[in-house]
Structure 1
Amino acid sequence: MASPAKRPRVSGGRRCHPVPSVAGPAGGGEPDSEPVAGFLRWCGRVGLELSPKVAVSRHGTVAGYGMVALDSVQSGELLFAVPRAALLSPHTCSIRGLLERERDALQSQSGWVPLLLALLHELQAPASPWSPYFALWPDLGRLEHPMFWPEEERRRLLQGTGVPEAVEKDLANIRSEYHSVVLPFMEAHPDLFSPSVRSLELYQQLVALVMAYSFQEPLEEEEDEKEPNSPLMVPAADILNHVANHNAHLEYSTDYLRMVATQPIPKGHEIFNTYGQMANWQLIHMYGFVEPYPDNTDDTADIQMVTVRDAALQGAKDEAERLLLCERWDFLCKLEMVGEEGAFVIGREEVLTHEELTATLKVLCMPAEEFREYKDRDEWGKDETEEDNLTVSSIPSLKTSWRQLLRDSVLLTLQMYATDLKTEQDLLNKEVYVKLSWREQAALQVRYGQKMILHQLLQLTS
């Protein structure tokens, strides 16, 4: 349902169960949790091989189930291997033949319907081979994605972050997809889908689960122009939690998916995968958690593209200048450098949309006669200079007009939040912070990380 701009999505979210327990593979200690023990027996049956150096655990993890090292692990060492037959996808589920035959009827904007129908069927199938895997899933009624927050709370806590708008789009897409594609399909096959799973509420929960826990196999370089691969569920891999400074990653091959250590992991330490370079607003939107400031080195702040246009228009001296700015904006739209719903994405050290931001500042700030010549060129963009390689550190050296427009855009962006930076800093006071609810703390981390980046831009453009 969601696809973060300029960020790859490669993995799934974390658990929210606080009860401590540990279980490892054969030789890794006696499991004391029946769901984990059942999962490990299932791993043995399907050929999912866990290293004796790792354990599925709720103890020593940042959130709920995770994986910890029972012994020291070296960089490059195999942690576990998942045979492709053990993946849960439309191609491996019990109704794969039906899903394949009805593939054209199951097309949707998200592309997730076949997997979601596979999950809906397997969840209520009396003898589903995936039952031991499902036993490690989180309680679907306790997922912490903002889509499950009351609308008033979501808007109040996350105003200005971009999350409420993303959630509203998700909810509209989920409702449309369910009523137009999913429910008619289930009603057409009542022998495969019991009334217990014909529920918009359950469908929304499964969408959130797929959003947080599924994987998308990356395309080959020569396939870059193709649509992204459909999501699939990867048992064991979706147990790992995420941090920006991760120590493992998933490798894909013909027969197996392998989780491999990317750095030495000391005994007793948690094993972390990466879900891609995710800003905190993306983490809370798609996975239901955040990394506290300043841990998320991949955090970003967005400046809406139309905000830069508005900042330029508010500085126009007369109607003629406003009309010329609108002409310049239309030119940028034609070049596909900007769009009404697009955003410029700024990290702590890099401008992720540097090409688009550079082009926008250049076109909106150049003298009128220069724009006329520029617009008539046959091969726009062939005259790149060093200023086109825009980075955060190079912002102070930009032309004065560029810096002023960027500064005005940042000031307009900061007005979209309900609170200022000083208010956030007061809330981060330890005695105040511990009294906040989990949602208040998480939303605060999202807002604060974004505002720190925006205030850094203010300093660099002053």
Structure 2
Amino acid sequence: MAAPAKRARTSGGLPLPAPCSVLRLARAPLSPPGPGCGFTPLAAWPSGGDSDGDAVSGFLCWCAGVGLELSPKVAVSRQGTVAGYGMVARESVQPGEVLFAVPRSALLSPHTCSISGLLERERGALQSLSGWVPLLLALLHELQSPASPWSPYFALWPELGRLEHPMFWPEEERRRLLKGTGVPEAVEKDLVNISSEYHSIVLPFMEAHSDLFSPTVRSLELYRQLVALVMSYSFQEPLEEDDDEKEPNSPLMVPAADLLNHIANYNANLEYSADYLRMVATQPIRKGHEIFNTYGQMANWQLIHMYGFAEPYPDNTDDTADIQMVTVRDAALQGTKDEAEKLLLCERWDFLCKLEMVGEEGAFVIGHEEVLTEEELATTLKVLCMPAEEFRNYKEQAGQGEEAREEDSLTITNIPKLQASWKRLLRDSVLLTLQTYATDLKTEQDLLSNKEVYAKLSWREQQALQVRYGQKMILHQLLELTS
């Protein structure tokens, strides 16, 4: 069984595509399907459509026509889902049961779209940092094509102008609500990369093939919206175990699979084979309960950045808090007494950089039960805290000193047993990190504990609060462990 793709912790930039769908918000069909099983053209750029029932029936009819097989035990519905369209069990489902099977011919990718030949011929000119340009061009062409065979599939997409990714929030709101979480910095890098990619590659390509791309789709704002949709809805087929050195597979759109919402405690998973992609139950699912896929092990800051929502505390067992690597350096500098000690500390930091244990934009990642970057953080604490003479010897051996000791393990349960200097530096780093937020933990707790006040918050305020609170709870746990 193919494991869901997992995201690396990054400091921003155009992220890799997701292995599942976004939480659906304020969804409106892009275009109503026509009667029967015929395909419905999209008129220029649609803004809404017919009833949910017509959109779903049109999609199901399209599924039958392309060989996408849904189990009679599941239903596509807005009712009984956490948000927007989702999938619900009509009958009880057991682990291992196939919920639906998508033939590879029904996937929407640069290889299956109507301009596949052109995209293949121009592949060299369409290379980019993200690797998403061919798929995005395929979507731009299909969405404005009057006779696109994908129209009934598009009818269940969200209204693009109402996506809730922070990249669409006003900058002031983004900075105010998400200060300290790492999201504003990641979004700013995304926006720069998207604009550069659009102006240097995408727009020139569309202008060179103006017969295939109408003026209505030559828009940076529309391109940003489609990037967010690919970020949220696309899938990335995992590499084989022996292909770890290869470039990641390109993203693709998987009808039906992208309807499923996400929770950390998911109950279904997508499996890949030569001819089909199958959604398979991983847990018993009771009648009437929603079917959830997984995006991978995603912290709340990643969920809101890439999908526009966060899981309420404490549901996201994959949540993490970051301590910026440079924050640990700054905390260590606070403890230096004179210029000589500062110079020695900078020498230690430069050595850690050469060992590739730290970087100016990197972060140490702390989970509820483990430090996900244990080797990097343990080595950093050791090098910054060891006596000067010991550091000289360690540096001469190029970091090949004694083997890692069990008492220096950074498992959460072992942190209280660390050397006093390690705990002090870790604690100071946490305190500096907490200063980057606009509010303290008690303020967040008061908001969350008052249901009436919480209910009056906007959607964005609620989601940002969940992100901040989850991170602060992890950081405060570290404070207690290092006291």
User: TM-score band, normalised by the shorter chain?
Assistant: over 0.9
Match of 1:270 in 2: 290
Task: Classify 1:18/1:82 alpha carbon distance in 2 versus 1 (closer, same or farther; 3 Å).
Answer: closer
Aligned-pair identity in percent equals 82
Using the TM superposition, give the Cα deviation of residue 381 of structure 1 relative to its aligned residue in structure 2, in angstroms.
Answer: 6.3
Contact 2:321 2:475 in 1 (8 A): yes
Q: Which residue is equivalent to 1:453?
A: 474
Distance 2:392 2:382 in 1: 13
Answer whether contact 2:7 2:297 (CA < 8 A) is retained: no
Contact 2:27 / 2:159 at 8 angstroms: preserved in 1?
no
Whole-angstrom distance in 1 between the partners of 2:240 and 2:178: 37
Say whether 1:104 aligns with 2:124: yes
The gaps in structure 2 that reach 5 residues or longer are: 1-5, 29-50
- 8 Å Cα contact 2:93-2:287 kept in structure 1: yes
Instruction: Give 1:248's aligned residue.
Output: 268
Aligned counterparts of 1:167 and 1:195: Cα–Cα separation in 2: 27
What is the aligned partner in structure 2 of residue 22 from structure 1? none
User: Is the 8 Å Cα contact of residues 4 and 282 (structure 1) preserved in structure 2?
Assistant: no
Could you tell me how far 1:4 is from its partner in structure 2? Answer: 4.3
Which residue of 338, 355, 375 maps to 1:355?
375
What residue in structure 1 maps to residue 9 of structure 2?
A: 5
Deviation at 1:370, TM superposition (A): 0.7
Show structure 1 runs of 5+ residues with no match: 20-30
Alpha-carbon offset, residue 355 of structure 1: 0.8
Match of 1:440 in 2: 461
Residue 179 (structure 2) aligns with: 159
Q: How does 1:163-202 map to 2 (within 5 A)?
A: 163-202=183-222
2:312 is equivalent to residue 292 of structure 1: yes
Q: Which residue of 1 aligns with 2:150?
A: 130
Aligned-partner residue type, residue 249 of structure 1: N
Q: Who is 1:326 aligned against? A: 346
Contact 1:18 1:63 in 2 (8 A): no
Change (3 A) 1:329 1:57: same
Do the aligned residues in 1 keep the contact of 2:394 with 2:401 (CA within 8 Å)? no
Amino acid aligned to 2:458: S
Tell me the equivalent position of 2:300.
280
- Equivalent residue runs for 1:256-405 within 5 Å: 256-377=276-397, 380=400, 383-405=403-425
Partners of 2:27 and 2:157 within 8 A in 1: no
Q: Aligned-pair distance for 1:378?
A: 5.2
SS in 1 for 2:456: coil
Deviation at 1:389, TM superposition (A): 3.7
TM-score with structure 2 length normalisation? 0.91
Q: Distance in 2 between matches of 1:66 and 1:381?
A: 54
Q: Per-residue displacement from partner, 1:19-69 (whole Å, max 9, x unpaired)?
A: 9xxxxxxxxxxx971111111111111111100000001000000000000
CA distance in 1 between counterparts of 2:179 and 2:85 reads 31
What's the offset of the Cα at 1:425?
1.1
Give the equivalent residue in structure 2 for 1:25. Answer: none
Please name the residue that 2:48 is paired with.
none
- Post-superposition CA distance 1:405-432 (Å, at most 9, x none): 0000000000000111111111112121
Alpha-carbon distance in structure 2 between the residues aligned to 1:378 and 1:312: 22
> Which residue in the other structure is 1:47 paired with?
67
- 1:204-223 alpha-carbon deviations (Å, 9 max, x no partner): 00000000110111111111
TM-score under structure 1 normalisation? 0.95
CA contact (8 A) 1:18 1:58 kept: no
The alpha-carbon deviation at position 16 of structure 1 amounts to: 1.4
2:422 & 2:459 partners in 1: Cα distance?
40
Partner of 2:427: 407
Aligned partner letter, 1:248: A
Residue 418 (str. 1) matches residue 441 (str. 2): no
CA 1:18/1:212 → structure 2, altered by over 3 Å: closer, same or farther? closer
